[in-house]
Chains A and B, each alone.
Chain A
């Protein structure tokens, strides 16, 4: 887990200094970008988006990221996610306008303003947290992992999942609550361990 995060940092650093390859960069950023593109579209449409639209958004966002100056980026990971989110919102608005048959380009309110530093850092922090959580998922029981995958990472409701698992809504609900609490404790432990290592490295 920690090595994953370090690899990503090193990769981004290599890319920022002009030595990294774009394929590896895309490979490391694509999951977070897809997540935020989906979230951006959903934010406007209030429903799960078509995956073709998500791919379009990620493509546009990644091309936009490559056009920027890597050396001047505060956090390429955060910036990639933020751009994907914003282009997702644009796509959601475009779909709404298409539905309302407003074809005039003037009517489109594209989110063209540059994302601010705070937003980028928050997105980067979320991605770093995801790296921790992804490793903690391994410590859950198979049932807990399944309920988290279906109802948090996916779009299934607790009731749907209860029906699939052949159990009651309340049982599934408590199972997920326990899983999230276990993840929270695991993340705390990981952070505390990482903090301890940093301190000892600083002393030495």
Chain B
């Protein structure tokens, strides 16, 4: 709990729910007849409606990006380190919009919502969403907020993929695209990790083909395993060594099959707390969206041709020890953007934190992020910051 709201926090915030009654046609061929999106916004939209920044979330993210819901919250929003007054995305200058994506489990329409056709919970029948479907729903959100063009669309990991998709599908509706710790598509290794996570969930006897709610159960063990595996891939060898080494929980080996090492109990704790907060069907859906993402499929696998339509400027960042979406994967996007003649800058941030680095306020990362957002501000004609504040 924050004793007192920090000065560089957006403070106490409240989510809002928006209802959309226009059916949403999906990549799968199915249609979502109606849906709700839960959003949060920070800062003020200016009179020209030009200073809006969209934040796209990653696998387990949601709309609560910055600030606190109450003084009892243990932690602020998931990207509080980057968003707030005076931070990289400065809410004194920008109007920040964040949402929970469709298929999620934090309030937007998803597997836990009621299917209007059956008057029962969707569960496993909720249509699998593709990144382009999310982006389409985000474009409708922009329409609703009367935002013609985003100053920037920003995302890390799966969020970065949404930002990239924005630049392709709605080229005139964003001026800048920030793609952080992402990839133009998943490798076989990435898909393999996701498949193990899905198997862990779907093979849990409590899963019941995704109808666990009907049976009054939860596939908790499957979710725990899926998250433990995921978590390992978000960290790096270095950061795990640094954090846990071979430290023992009780000072000596137990010669039992319990957790001996600190890293084991840490992973169990992470898995357990995640399994209480996240819906299994949503997890399956999110991993599928990741696996399916490959905007170049519409252009015969040619990423340069795929990006030809983009009009915005790009900032791509990666982290040295990220092996889930390694720097080389970011370079594939950068190289394609250069070949397509687009404006792009790229930074490879030194970090020991693996894929999770994109959520960590690493000084050089936050500095470059802020400098790029200053450039965005200048591009839309916001007054320059006084030198002492920049």
Whether A associates with B in a native complex is: no
Chain B residues within 8 Å of A, Cβ to Cβ: none
